[in-house]
Amino acid sequence: MVEDNYTSPSEFILLGFTNREDLRVMCFVLFLAIYVVTFIGNLGVIALIRMDSCLHTPMYFFLSHLSLLDVCYSSTIIPQALLNVLVEKKVISFTRCATQLFSFATCATTECYVLAAMAYDRYMAICNPLLYSTVMSQRLCIGMLAGAYLAGVISSTIHTVSIFHLPFCRSKMINHFFCDGPPLLALSCSDTHAIEVMVSAVVGFNVLSTTVFILISYLSVLSTVMRMLTVAGRRKAFSTCASHFISIALYYGSSLFMYLRPSSKQSSKHDKVVSMLYSVAVPMLNPLIYSLRNVDMKKAMRKAKSRVLSSLSIHGS
C-alpha cells in the first residue's frame, strides 16, 4: 500500500472543536470537568467493589474492569484534547497518534466483550439460577476477561497497522479532537477502499457479534422475567439489568453510527459529536448509571459512607 513517491508526516495537527478564543475556554472547562468526574467516578466504583465483600461476585468483577477500561479510555483521549485547547500549535507526533489510536481501539473493543460477558452473567443469574454458582466460576470469569483483552489487542493491532501503513500526503491536519480511524483515512493519498473495508469488517465483527450475543441474552432474560409470578420478582430482575442495558444502548448506538455507515455520508462535525458521545460521555455516565440504578451499589455506598463518618467521629473525639 505504501508508495515510494510519498512520505508520511512526522507529526499531525489536531484541529479539535474550535479555534475561537471564547469557545476554547468553555471547551477546556467542559473537558476538564468531564475528565475529573469520569476519573473519580470510575475509581470510586473500583474501590467500592474491592472494599465491599457483598460485591465480590462475577457481575461486579466485570463491572470493575468496565470502570478500569473507562478510566484508560478517557486518559487516552482527554489529556491530549485539554492540551490542544491550551496551545496554539495542536501538534501530535506520528508515533503518539498511532499509540493513541491503538490504546483507544484496544479499550473500545475490550469494552464490547466485557459488556457481552456481563450480559451472559445476567442471563445465567436470572434464567439458570441453580447453575449460576457452578457455571460462573472464577476460572470462567478470568478466562472471559482474558479473552476480551486479547480480542481488544488483536483487533486494535489490525486497526492501527492497516491505517498507519498508508501514506499520508494530502494534509497533516486531522479534523478531529483525537486520532480516530475515519479522519485519519481521509488524509491518505492512496486508495483506502480496501483498508476501509478491512477496518469496517473488524469493527463490524466485534460490535455486531457482541450485539447479537447481548440481544439473545436479554431476550432470554425478558422471557424468563415475564414468566415470573410475583411483581416483586420482576421488579428485582429488571433493576439488575436496567443499568447494564442503558450503558449498552448508549455505547453501541454511537459506535455503530460512527463506524458502520458509508464513508461518503460522513460529516466531520457529526463525527466529532458522535465520537464525543461514545469516547467521552459514556465513560463519565457509566458510574452514575450503575450507582444510581443499582440496589447493591447503593447499599455499598451507604455502608462506605457510614464507615467514613464513624472513622471521622472517632478521630474527631
Distance from C-alpha of 202 to C-alpha of 181, rounded to nearest angstrom: 12
Instruction: Please state the φ and ψ torsions of residue 36, each to the nearest 5 degrees.
Output: -65, -45
Domain coordinates in residue numbering, the chain? 11-308
Residue 121, C-beta contacts closer than 8 angstroms, at least 6 positions apart: 58, 59, 62, 136
pLDDT at 1: 41
pLDDT at 107: 93
| Whether 72 contacts 118, CB under 8 Å | no
| Whether 237 contacts 221, CB under 8 Å | yes
* Dihedral sign computed on CA atoms, order 121, 126, 128, 131: positive
What digits encode the pLDDT tens for the residues 14-36?
887 777 777 788 888 888 999 99
Kindly state the average pLDDT of the residues 170-187.
Answer: 82
Query: Which H helix or E strand runs over 12?
Result: strand 11-14
Its pTM stands at: 0.85
Name which residue leads in pLDDT, 235 or 189.
189
Name residue, grid cell 457510614: 306
β-strand pairing of 173-174 with 91-93: unpaired
CATH entry 1.10.600.10 includes domain 11-308:
no
Can you point out the beta strands (E) in 140-283? 173-174
| Whether 172 contacts 12, CB under 8 Å | yes
Alpha helix (H) residue ranges in 87-192 = 94-127, 129-135, 138-164, 181-185
Residue 317 has pLDDT above 70, yes or no: no
